[in-house]
Structure 1
Amino acid sequence: MPANDQTTAAFPVGGRFPDRTELLRLQDSWGVSPLLDPEVVAVRFDRHIAALPPRPAGADPGLVPVGAAREFVVQLAASLARVRADHRTLDSAAKDRFNEALQAAHASGAYGKLAAAHADMSHRMHSMSGPIGAQRFLPWHRRYLLELENLLRAGTPTLTVPYWDYANDHARPDWVWQPPQVVRDTPGANGGSLPDQSVIDGLLARSRYTPFTSHLETDAHNQVHNWCNGTISDIMASPHDPIFWLLHANVDRIWDRWQLNHSGHPSLTGKDATLDPWTSTATDERSITTLGYSYA
């Protein structure tokens, strides 16, 4: 290879191989977008087509409507431009932008108003509200998280909520802004626990939606809230601590991973399917590609 080749000169000589976090930072500095996994894209496309209204009588069942294919491509492109990342990969500037957006939303009163929605148990968004609540848990919180992200993006358009992969990161992300009156006591000092990856793998292996969401809520959500120990452990007040959103971004990410390999979904009909206080339904929340975001 020529001595003046600039490709080899760009790489350091010696040293250890970069870990995942370092490699992501390098790729970001080079402007490299996350690579598309063809198998994942195919699964998401199949889900998109399966959700379409029934085809007219006599239509070729093997022919994908051009409009549907075009719509999926547009949605996929949008989702890849709105990526929620592991908070450990954020640099100081990205963390500052996130915290500044939180503070601005808090100062306007909009953050407190949104956080207060969680105190209204009439929304039935947890299994403690009964079988309907168990079915609503994941779609309701997916919508809730998106509402918060949209609120923050109103002031900082490129911002996304990072996620906390608590099965592999056993440190509470205390870099997240702590509003006045929010309490953060010693993690784990008042019970609760963090799952390990084997627990998450067990959840992902469950074939039916109801057992999956039930065990996810109890084993990899409730216990995490309690382990965090403080305002976030209070069911009614938990969203007032912004760590709540990183926790729920990970819950949502786990659900999305499960959806790639399973076709189950919430069994909700009529008014139960409307995720009040919003007008969207559980069906509207099935696909993060349709909603326009993705996870790194």
Structure 2
Amino acid sequence: MYSRKDQRNLTRTEKKRLVDAILELKRSGRYDEFVTMHRQYYVTDAEGRPRAAHMSPSFFPWHRRYLLEFEEALQAVDPTVSIPYWDWTRDNTPAASLWAEDFLGGNGRSGDRQVMTGPFAYRQGNWRVSGGATDGRFLTRNFGRPSAPVDLPTAADVDRAMGDPVYDAAPWNSLSTTGFRNRIEGWGISGTRRVANHNQVHLWIGGSMAGAGSPDDPVFWLHHAYMDLLWARWQSAHPRSGYQPGSRLPDDDPQRDHVFAGDAPLPPWDETPSQLLDHTGVYEYV
């Protein structure tokens, strides 16, 4: 078993080894395969297709399996590497350690929002995006979205979601008003609530993180490691509240063929949400 650390506690050597492993995956073409996978499975409510990754109960288990596959690829390069997590309720400014020159680099410049600092800056010659929010070849960020300002979520925002004792609820999509899953995934519902938590962070970073190609920005992995940690904490706080729906929805439920029950294999893997509920035999959060 290995550990996933808070990014603020990484040593300089640990940061460098992680960055070097990510850059090696990029050079080999493997990194862009992960971006393509995320774009493939970013299916919205309006598309009328099965939704494994977003706007559905399987948001958490799908991304847990996705992060594990990415972590396995990193560890094939460097066995000492794991995905750190970014607690954006604490490290919530552009001066936070993850945006440093020796780690993820900082905000995009005014105008085209191109990231000019750090190892993933296009001008360094190592990072060309495979297609995200724009047609540009470079990584972009737009912290706080000045044209329509957005803040990072607070600890109170997370606590409200963590307090919901139900995992998910009908209609099992972006319009679910109750349930931990959509409170954390954070889809805004007109007249009910604004964009929150997970989605709010994507909006705050902006640029490459603002669309289906969001893994083009390596901060994606740190953000989703924190999502995974919050899911684990919620499970611990609500031990009697299991994954929902546990079995396939009734014939008359319009979401029957669009969401994945606990016993339904998640594409592109053969594992079910129920098989992905417990991470403790593989990694721990420290």
With normalisation by structure 1, the TM-score equals: 0.66
Distance 1:152 1:127, change over 3 A: farther
Is the helix fraction higher in 1 or 2?
Answer: 1
SS class of match (1:163): coil
1:267 to 237, 245, 252: 245
CA drift of 1:188 comes to 3.6
CA drift of 1:91 comes to 1.6
RMSD value, Cα: 2.2
Task: Please say if 1:220 is aligned against 2:197.
Answer: yes
Distance 1:129 1:139, change over 3 A: farther
Alignment size in residue pairs = 212
Task: Please say if 1:185 is aligned against 2:107.
Answer: no
Residue of structure 2 in register with 1:293 after alignment: 283
Aligned equivalents of 2:243, 2:46: Cα separation in 1: 19
Describe how 1:247-286 pairs up with structure 2 within 5 A.
247-262=223-238, 263-267=241-245, 269=247, 272=260, 273-286=264-277
**Where in structure 1 do 4 or more consecutive aligned residues deviate above 6 Å?**
126-131
Residues 117-174 of structure 1: CA deviation (Å, up to 9, x unaligned): 11114x65x6777896421111111111111111101111121100000011103532
CA drift of 1:229 comes to 1.4
Task: Please say if 1:203 is aligned against 2:161.
Answer: yes
Aligned AA (1:228): I
Aligned equivalents of 1:104, 1:193: Cα separation in 2: 33
Distance 1:182 1:289, change over 3 A: same
SS class of match (2:237): coil
Aligned AA (2:159): D
Describe how 1:40-189 pairs up with structure 2 within 5 A.
78=1, 82-121=2-41, 124=43, 133-171=55-93, 173-174=98-99, 175-176=103-104, 177-178=119-120, 179-180=127-128, 181-189=138-146
Residues 160-210 of structure 1: CA deviation (Å, up to 9, x unaligned): 100000011103532224233211233442543311111111211111101
Aligned AA (1:186): F
Aligned AA (1:144): Y
Alpha-carbon contact 1:127-1:135 (below 8 Å) kept: no
Aligned AA (2:283): Y
SS class of match (1:120): helix
